[in-house]
Amino acid sequence: MKTIAIISQKGGAGKTTLAVHLAVCAHLAGHRTAIVDLDPQATARKWSDKRKAEPEVVGDQAERLPFLLEAARNNHADFLVIDTAPNADRASLIAARAADLILIPCRPAAFDLDAIEATCDLASLARKPAWVLLSSAPVRSPLVEESRLGLESQGRLVAPHALHQRVAFSHSVIDGRTAVEFEPFGKAATEIQDIYKWACGQMGMPTRLHASEPAGRKSA
């Protein structure tokens, strides 16, 4: 089982948007997938209530994460996405420590970039691979490249793909879908699939479940 923790101390960075989109990509690719929602705002749980379909979303407190991880393994889950609350140092650190890969969504804007140090410090405490993912980026703006260069010059790892500000990301979730279901051939769908494939590569997880693999098999 592979686990991604999505953390950012800054509110509205795009954590839940990224969490539900990555989880649906994995689910549609045949992986047994679940989301752990550690945010008391319960945004991912409310999205799931509207969706009424997989992937499953489980809400709990960060202290319960070890039990949730064990339950997911016992259920032969392949892929877990942990969504976290903003301004939640301890919970974010617990999530980060449990992860194979940490993603830190960040808008390419001055206030957001200024605030990223606190989240990157948490990620380094966890000693897990952590990447900043530029999110809600304005389309056709030099801000993305400028932000990437600025972050890299501070020694941050920046994911090679960005999520741009696209209506499909915000509209699709209204009724419990994601951009890949709302507009399968749209630019938002392509962007999240690129990020999903890249994240799989980072974790050594196959993008797609092997077609010949029987259902109910044990995961790695």
Please classify residue 64 by burial: count the beta carbons closer than 10 Å to its beta carbon, then call 0-12 exposed, 13-18 middle and 19+ buried.
Answer: middle
Should residue 16 be labelled a site residue for ligand ATP when binding is judged by CB under 6 A? yes
Should residue 86 be labelled a site residue for ligand ATP when binding is judged by CB under 6 A? yes
Using alpha carbons, select from 152, 117, 157 the residue that is nearest to residue 133: 157
Give min distance, CB of 39 to ligand ATP, in A.
Answer: 5
Pick the binder of Mg ion from 5, 8, 14, 15 (CB under 5 A).
15
CB 38 within 8 A of CB 95: yes
Should residue 150 be labelled a site residue for ligand ATP when binding is judged by CB under 6 A? no
Using alpha carbons, select from 205, 201, 210, 208 the residue that is nearest to residue 220: 205
Partner from ligand ATP, Mg ion, none binding residue 37, C-beta < 5-8 Å depending on class: none
Measured distance CA(70)–CA(151) in Å, rounded: 35
Per-residue binding letters, 87-126, with ligand ATP (x by CB under 6 A): ----------------------------------------
Count of helix runs (H) and strand runs (E) in the chain: 10, 6
Stretch binding ligand ATP (CB under 6 A), from 53-61, 89-97, 161-169, 202-210: 161-169
Q: Which residues are at the interface with Mg ion (CB under 5 A)?
A: 15-16, 43
